[in-house]
Structure 1
């Protein structure tokens, strides 16, 4: 419906009466497109069923800081992590995905605003003599000029565009959390690879001493054989132990080379490998691990936060699909100049204007709208299931790391006692040998137990550090989400906010941003 109104006429009251009748009629007919019976069946898992400490904390404990690894005091490790987090290609990809989500959100926001455009059209046309145009246009060549501004504004009465924007904002927040998850994963991989390299280096030192010990034992057996105190059996047994010791050294050197290359690849600088210095495992590792984890720390894991935002985005997608069942009202208007002949374009008599409210109403869509809503609802249920799975996996991960931490500390205490006993026996054997009360073969045999305990000690220390890194990652790496929340609507979204509140702890009333959704502190 288009109205071109010359100056001096008064048709506005009639126009608005007709528009009001059209709106009323469209609302009455909207019942023809029905979405009844289509609703989400997903249920968010209550935080009370997770088995975590219901108390929350607003301060990250020492074992849940973003720079937790600095407690080891390893300058080379700190430098590697800084370099890895600055230039790794996987982090760049995550950052670009976030930028893309932000751009799409900007496009969704544009749908809420009026659109304004302008056109300048100058043409010269030959009008057919046998067409629709009568004389004097028929068969003539005329110039035509148009200078016109136009605008349109979709009135979002039923929240379709608002819901689409909220869904896009949810995707942005999920992408931001995914980027943090990628950073945390990379940092944990660098840490675990670095300490794995340290373990291999210390095991290599033990293997090299083992080879030296077996060479000494072979020399002793050869001397005893010449003296008639040993037989060829003892000689062949001693000779057979040397290839095995050399094999262990070669295997460890291979592992060290591969681990060093893997570390350089994680850092993003393959040429860095030859310049790295062999690290050692930390001698003193803090045993300050939590007995039980506050529930809000699990809720701050980047993967849980991302899954939570995907539920929110999917919920708003269903709102968008549901709003498509209602009428769509778009106001269009134009004003400008148009005339035959270029010289007439700028004359006041060439002005033209019009306004045209456009109403579209879904009546019979052949099931298209219902199918779309069913698909979006299924997406929402899938997002809820993924969120529940992420929460369960997070709790499982944290529980495993806590159990391993406690068990490894007990194992280290027991192994320390065993190693001390072996060291004491070795010291006694050396004292007896030096006093002429024992043989050097007894000293070497006692040292064999010491070397075995050293290997076990290195492995336990490496497992303890690796478990600490895994626990740090499982607790979210000390990250505190800084998000812009979207006010939830409906039963599913209300349940979402209930779980968010339980996982993230108490929060103050949301502050409404001047031009956006409520912001969560």
Structure 2
């Protein structure tokens, strides 16, 4: 009997699996990007600090990774999935329970009266309704839980990567607004000085009313722009506080010009490398693996299930005799359940599992295509931004020369005041656009870093507790 029980248990633990053999779907993307990698570009760094070398930027990113509440939720999701996997994995092994019983009572027998009151003591250990996994149903459920647990880990890594990118983008946005504020303040001072001079010339009859009103209009326009930028700057500081999970962190302007800010150039590599680098793609594949395992569990439901219940114990009328000779008893009760009629439930469950796998395949392939597009877009934007920034730099330099010439012509009486004011207005616009393009250049570098999968050494899950 013991040999038979051990043999059944061994077969149960080594049961076959009816899950389909997994094959990774072919990546539905081209084999190369439209924009090739350039000489001098570095491979993906081992840590995000190697890419974002600015100390202030590093401090903001570190604070976000440590305190951001959304990231903390994804870390807790890992613990949740790990616990669910532990529950499912425990079902693959028998649970052995011990029990002790005591009862006192009198039995009633027909035709007999005055039966004595009797005590009954019992102690036992046993296995209750352990499923012998001949067809791999429990194993498939355990494999699905494991894949979902691994998917939750990848989700946390993807959230960490997104948070790093969002924080860097927010810092660059704050610096861009601060730089535009400094430009606007210097422009206001220049235009106020011009307005004072124009007012004097107007009072002396040397300037027209149109010139005076134009000077007033430019001053008020710059003040309105300054008020708008001040509002945007405060909102940018609040956005940084939310990402960092701490609104008390100082967010003063550090005076860093975006023009002088650089990030390490990255080599895109082959598109196939995205499958191993990007955590969101690994998450999608683990979700697909879980759906594949669910099919095995649904198939196993069509086959008989065997549950094993055992009980070994001792029973006596007094506690002192409980473990005496002749008190032992045992039960070995395997139970076979054969599905005969369930109104199509098993067929529906199998169809549901197969459909969910098809959905997971489509989602996985869609994730690959979106990843390819993000990298291709970032590479294309990098090339065109370089050309655009170079052209805008020439526009700005030309506007600076134009303003100097206009002021010189005005001082010599060759040009009217409107020409000089127009030169000032054009220079202000071209300098603002140059700052915005520099910000866009840095944001594009962050987008490329994120699209390529971020740092190779992934962080451990942290609940922040």
Q: Do the two structures share a fold, i.e. TM-score over 0.5?
A: yes
Q: Secondary structure at the match of 1:349?
A: coil
Report the Cα distance in structure 1 between the residues aligned to 2:212 and 2:410, rounded to whole angstroms. Answer: 22
Alignment correspondent of 1:408:
385
Aligned with residue 224 of structure 1, among 201, 221, 224: 201
Bigger mean CA deviation after superposition, 397-406 or 249-258: 397-406
1:83 aligns to 2:60 (yes or no): no
Q: Give 1:135 deviation, angstroms.
A: 5.0
Contact residue 318 and residue 376 of structure 1 kept, 8 A = yes
* TM-score normalised by the chain length of structure 1: 0.76
Alignment correspondent of 1:146:
122
Q: Give 1:321 deviation, angstroms.
A: 0.9
1:403-482 aligned at under 5 Å gives the runs 403-427=380-404, 446-479=423-456
Alignment correspondent of 1:119:
99
Report the Cα distance in structure 2 between the residues aligned to 1:432 and 1:67, rounded to whole angstroms. Answer: 56
Gaps of 5+ in 1: 1-11, 24-34, 484-521
Report the Cα distance in structure 1 between the residues aligned to 2:252 and 2:423, rounded to whole angstroms. Answer: 38
Report the Cα distance in structure 2 between the residues aligned to 1:383 and 1:315, rounded to whole angstroms. Answer: 9
Aligned with residue 194 of structure 1, among 168, 171, 187: 171
371 and 481 in structure 1: CA distance in 2 versus 1, 3 angstrom threshold: farther
482 and 203 in structure 1: CA distance in 2 versus 1, 3 angstrom threshold: closer
Report the Cα distance in structure 1 between the residues aligned to 2:257 and 2:242, rounded to whole angstroms. Answer: 20
Q: Give 1:287 deviation, angstroms.
A: 7.9
> What do you get for the CA RMSD once the two structures are aligned?
3.5
Q: Give 1:281 deviation, angstroms.
A: 2.2
* TM-score normalised by the chain length of structure 2: 0.85
Alignment correspondent of 1:339:
316
1:146-180 deviations in whole A, cap 9, x for unaligned?
A: 01111355322211111111111100110001001
Alignment correspondent of 1:497:
none
Alignment correspondent of 2:463:
none
Alignment correspondent of 2:302:
325
Report the Cα distance in structure 2 between the residues aligned to 1:259 and 1:179, rounded to whole angstroms. Answer: 25
Q: Secondary structure at the match of 1:285?
A: coil
Alignment correspondent of 2:89:
109
Alignment correspondent of 1:96:
76
Aligned with residue 64 of structure 1, among 6, 25, 44: 44
387 and 305 in structure 1: CA distance in 2 versus 1, 3 angstrom threshold: same
Report the Cα distance in structure 2 between the residues aligned to 1:199 and 1:69, rounded to whole angstroms. Answer: 22
Aligned length, in residue pairs: 443
Report the Cα distance in structure 1 between the residues aligned to 2:42 and 2:324, rounded to whole angstroms. Answer: 77
Aligned with residue 372 of structure 2, among 392, 395, 413: 395
Report the Cα distance in structure 2 between the residues aligned to 1:53 and 1:214, rounded to whole angstroms. Answer: 49
Bigger mean CA deviation after superposition, 254-263 or 357-366: 357-366
Alignment correspondent of 1:212:
189
Alignment correspondent of 2:293:
316
Q: Give 1:427 deviation, angstroms.
A: 4.9
Alignment correspondent of 1:358:
335
Q: Secondary structure at the match of 2:343?
A: coil
Report the Cα distance in structure 2 between the residues aligned to 1:392 and 1:84, rounded to whole angstroms. Answer: 29
Report the Cα distance in structure 1 between the residues aligned to 2:143 and 2:407, rounded to whole angstroms. Answer: 76
Contact residue 433 and residue 439 of structure 1 kept, 8 A = yes
Q: Give 1:65 deviation, angstroms.
A: 2.6
Q: Give 1:373 deviation, angstroms.
A: 1.1
